[in-house]
Structure 1
Amino acid sequence: MKIKEGKSALEQNLYRSFLLLSATLVLISLGFTLFFDISRQRKDMDKLISGTASYIAAIPDVAAMLENGYPDSTVTRDLDSLSLNIPDINVILISDKNGLRFYHTNRLKTGDSYVAGDEDAILAGSDPYITTGYGTHGMQRRAFHAVKNSDGEIVGFVMVSLFTATLSAQHRSLLFFYIIIFLIMMIVSISLTHTMFSLLRDSLLGYDPEELVNIYTRQDEVMNMIDEGLAATDLDGRILFANQKVSTILGRPANEPPLTHLTIQELFPQTSFDQVIKTGESVTHESISFAGRQLIVKEVPIHGRGKQARRGVLIVLFDRTDLLRLSDELSGAHNMLDTLRAFNHEFLNKLHIILGYLQTGEIQQAMNFITNSSLVSSQSVRETANCIRVPKICALVIGKMMHAAELGIRLQVSADSTCRDHDLLIPVEGFVTILGNLMENAIEELSHDHTASPDVINASESPREIHIGIYCRPDVNIITCEDTGHGIQPELLDHIFEKGVSSKGENRGTGLFLVHELMEEYGGTIDIDTEPGEGTCFTLTFTRKETESNV
């Protein structure tokens, strides 16, 4: 990849900002260091003059000289040597308590009186101290110390001083040294900044930061325009990126915090994140009901560039809700049209039957036929077609409704039933076989001429009705078939699914046997609720197996 020549405006601003930050940090650090060095130097000089004054005041010959009242050549020689060996000290003064100078580093001032006034405190018995005063050579730092005789009486004082000009010169030398250090550090900072930006460009594959910002902005806009939800995680499952479609699918308000503070387990509890990270293979979840929507969720491992190591997981959410709604509406319209055609054909057939009864003079038969046919209204047909959107199943149910009506039996579908192609957990042929046998078994039960018994209510005294419930969701399918027949006798209940076992006589017992075989084949369960004289309710349940949710 060709590296872009020159620096963009953003890169230049970053370059200048980094240098300014480096210069500021260096200045602050050197300023603090310089301040502490100057303070330390001043304290060291104060200790030097104070210590020297204390040392001189403790020399016995100095006290003897002041008591004798005249200078001592030995003391003068020793102090001259001391002054030469400590070049930082500018002035050494020994004076009696009247201010007469017995020694001064400047011989011309020996014998004069010291009248600066800042010696009064030391002659009054004060502890040693340091003052700043103005002398013939300018400002000075002066250390005073009392000279006492053997009886502890103050006989004079020692003053050791240095010129502040000397101290300022030392400070200027130190400042110049720090300026040199600052310039060296800035040269190093410039070199490091240049090296860092070169490495940064290499790590960014030749792109400068401004180009990456533009690329990220464009890609972010593109990601948010995609109809599928996209979310990326790291190896710990923390969400690093999620486009706006993910929030839309989840129904999250705009004022809620971004999804990047969540983990994938919190966002999508059905996730196979651990499996994807461990195996490195994609996992697809089909027909997941989530936040009131039908989703297909695909989890794909994210690999590093040129490496096999996994960096995280990409979750792709396909929202099928709108598509399924449109498909339901279209299939519902087609199903309704087919149903109306069948109903119209059936209606014409019934008219022919009624016409035949009338032509043969069997008026009572015609009236009975019309009464039974009215059990299936056009509204019932429309409601059934609206609930059951699988054409084969819908046609089966309406056909059985017509057949039951001819026998004076009312067959109804529960208003809350729902059945869609994509929600079926078993093949539609198996569904038709199971449901057809259940309905036919209930119709035969209600139309069969039972022999009344003392514990059974006569069929003519109770309504002959069949209630069908079909509830299909992506995770479970439930079929209920309830009739108002005589119920199943206790002695037959344990053998009802065996071939040839039936309460209707010989050569029967095939329907429930076939239903039981299909239930075992597709892994369903059957519950029977029956009571002699009250009726029977079959409840069949199919659930999506865990292995079916992952492909």
Structure 2
Amino acid sequence: MKILHLKLGTKIAMLSFLLVLLSVFLAGVIIVNQISDKMEKEIGHRAMAIARTVAQLSEVQENLSKSEGSKVIQPLAERIRLATGVEYIVIFNMEKTRYSHPYLDRIGTVFNDGDEELSLQRKEYLSQAVGVLGPSIRAFVPVLADEGTRQVGVVAVGILVPTIREIISTIKTELYSSILIGLILGGLGSFYLASNIKKNMFSLEPNEIARMLEERVAIFQAMDDGVVALDMENRITVINEKACRIVGISEKEVGCRLKELPAFNALNDLLVANDPTETTELILNNTWVFVDFLPVRVKEQIVGRVITLKEKTEVRKMAEELTGVKTFIEALRVQNHESLNKLHTIAGLIQLGKADQARDYIYRVTEEQQEVTRFLSSKIRYPNVAGLLLGKYNRGKELKVDVLFDPDSNLSELPEGFDSSTLTIILGNLLENAMEAVVGSKLSEVHCRIKYEHHELVLSVEDTGSGISSENQAKIYQWGFSTKGNGNRGIGLSLVKQTVDLLGGTIELESGKWGTRFGVRIPLNKIQA
């Protein structure tokens, strides 16, 4: 048997129309029942009023005790019945003998329908019964003579109850027109609802939506980068497996805010401090990651952001190699600038006829540059670190800052797993901060030392600046904190602190009016890959 597959819009329209049809039918049944109830109450009141009127007639009261009383009572009852339009008026005495009835052959017979007993006890009431003429509501009223002191009989007035079919036939025009209007409006509303829902679902069927969702989830989970989607309250709405692995959480954490998850502390601090838009380097769950931020827009309104997490593995190596190349380029640029200045000095001395002074100046400059280059080449084995130091030395020359290297400095060997490029992060930021601290000072010197002490790699950078206040010393490692203004400031020392912590090392800070010294100690036996 072939199963008929209907489209979603058709199913919604049919379901909505069936609901409307059921509602209209139930409403019709309720209305007819209410009309029936009201008609029964009205019939009861009418029958009771007629019965009371008849029971008050003196002709009835006086002739119920006479054997020939039906000759007076029957014509009277018939006139009233015809005038009021009721189905029957039956009057019987205390022995239940009928004195009136629409059918003459019933006069003189005994009234024995079973619901008349209470009326013989001077009680009036309504009763529903199926009589000779059909189902009816009848009112029983006792006939009292001698000013109400003696009961002589009972008046029973019956009015036939209309059937449901008769009620519907009475109001069929109004009922059918109401049902028709309801069905038309319901049908139009059903098709509009179905089309509107289909439009909001981009005219896709449920199986198509399910397939697209499965594909999107598969693509999302297959991404090589970690992806975390946040709402405007920094609550996680979506996270893929790679992001869970990087930060060490499960997908059950979806719905939590970043501040509720310790693994996201560094990221949450960054979001609270400012609204980042550039790629940032952070440590999450003891893992170096590059973090990118992208706003999520729905109909041109920002409703959240997507954060991508890239592990700093091959990307880190490539970036740091590029950083080393950039350092060499910067060193060459500064060196070229210095060389031009020196050439101008030499040309000026020659033009002034001071050839001896020009020759001495050439020897002195050449010897100084060769000495620094020779020192770094022999003491620093790793080219990216040597290039960084040479670049900072030449950068110092440009800023009128003397960058001095301790003669005992040595970086000959690093254990396996220690990335020499990591030193460029630490040394680069410390040297740059130190040079900025002494620019414009009377004594503008920066001292740098790299050596081994008791299975530790010791890095020391000291400047002759004005020092760091005790209040700022507690804040300098906070992300975004800087005494030099806003912008991209306040990141260097935070990165240094994160890097040293990851390597299991410590940072010592000494500062006073004489200047500032940063001492970094990294235990060689605790270095992490």
| Range of TM-score over shorter length | 0.5 to 0.7
Preserved CA contact (<8 Å) 2:120 2:142: no
Of 303, 311, 314 in structure 1, the residue corresponding to residue 305 of structure 2 is 314
Of 142, 150, 153 in structure 2, the residue corresponding to residue 153 of structure 1 is 150
Q: How big is the shift at 1:245?
A: 4.1
Q: How far apart are the structure 2 equivalents of 1:141 and 1:297?
A: 87
Preserved CA contact (<8 Å) 1:61 1:75: no
Preserved CA contact (<8 Å) 1:132 1:139: yes
AA at the equivalent of 1:170: E
Q: How far apart are the structure 1 equivalents of 2:457 and 2:56?
A: 118
Please name the residue that 2:356 is paired with.
Answer: none
Q: How big is the shift at 1:157?
A: 1.0
After TM superposition, list the pairs within 5 Å mapping 1:391-410 onto structure 2. Answer: 391-392=385-386, 403=408
1:192-249 CA-to-partner distances (Å, cap 9, x unmatched) read: 2222333444445555565445444433332332233444455565555444444444
After TM superposition, list the pairs within 5 Å mapping 1:178-193 onto structure 2. Answer: 181-193=178-190
1:297-338 CA-to-partner distances (Å, cap 9, x unmatched) read: 333333344x5xx1402212223245468779999xxxxxxx
Distance change in 2, residues 1:40/1:291 (3 Å):
farther
Q: How far apart are the structure 2 equivalents of 1:24 and 1:290?
A: 60
Q: Does 1:144 align with 2:135?
A: no
Please name the residue that 1:300 is paired with.
Answer: 294
TM-score (norm 1): 0.54
Q: How far apart are the structure 2 equivalents of 1:29 and 1:208?
A: 34
Q: How far apart are the structure 2 equivalents of 1:402 and 1:93?
A: 138
Preserved CA contact (<8 Å) 1:11 1:209: no
Distance change in 2, residues 1:513/1:11 (3 Å):
closer
Preserved CA contact (<8 Å) 1:131 1:141: yes
Preserved CA contact (<8 Å) 1:123 1:154: no
Q: How big is the shift at 1:191?
A: 1.8
Q: Does 1:224 align with 2:221?
A: yes
Q: Secondary structure at the match of 1:424?
A: helix
Q: Secondary structure at the match of 1:284?
A: coil
AA at the equivalent of 2:292: K
Q: Does 1:284 align with 2:282?
A: no
Q: How far apart are the structure 1 equivalents of 2:180 and 2:36?
A: 20
Please name the residue that 1:121 is paired with.
Answer: 117
Q: How big is the shift at 1:96?
A: 1.9
TM-score (norm 2): 0.56
Q: Secondary structure at the match of 2:16?
A: helix
AA at the equivalent of 1:136: V
Q: How far apart are the structure 2 equivalents of 1:300 and 1:152?
A: 100
Distance change in 2, residues 1:252/1:403 (3 Å):
closer
Q: How far apart are the structure 2 equivalents of 1:422 and 1:28?
A: 82
Please name the residue that 1:18 is paired with.
Answer: 16
Q: How big is the shift at 1:8?
A: 6.2
1:378-423 CA-to-partner distances (Å, cap 9, x unmatched) read: xxxxxx99xx997449999xxx999589xxxxx9999999975398
1:89-131 CA-to-partner distances (Å, cap 9, x unmatched) read: 4222222222233333x26257433422425423441633344
Q: Which runs of 5+ in 1 are unaligned?
A: 1-6, 277-281, 332-383, 406-410, 444-464, 471-478, 482-510, 530-536, 542-551
Q: How far apart are the structure 1 equivalents of 2:66 and 2:156?
A: 20
Please name the residue that 2:100 is paired with.
Answer: 103
Please name the residue that 1:4 is paired with.
Answer: none
Preserved CA contact (<8 Å) 1:93 1:160: yes
How many residue pairs align between the two structures?
Answer: 392
AA at the equivalent of 1:147: V
Q: How big is the shift at 1:432?
A: 12
Please name the residue that 2:395 is paired with.
Answer: none
Q: How far apart are the structure 2 equivalents of 1:540 and 1:92?
A: 121
Distance change in 2, residues 1:111/1:21 (3 Å):
closer
Please name the residue that 1:343 is paired with.
Answer: none
Q: How far apart are the structure 2 equivalents of 1:94 and 1:122?
A: 15
AA at the equivalent of 1:289: I
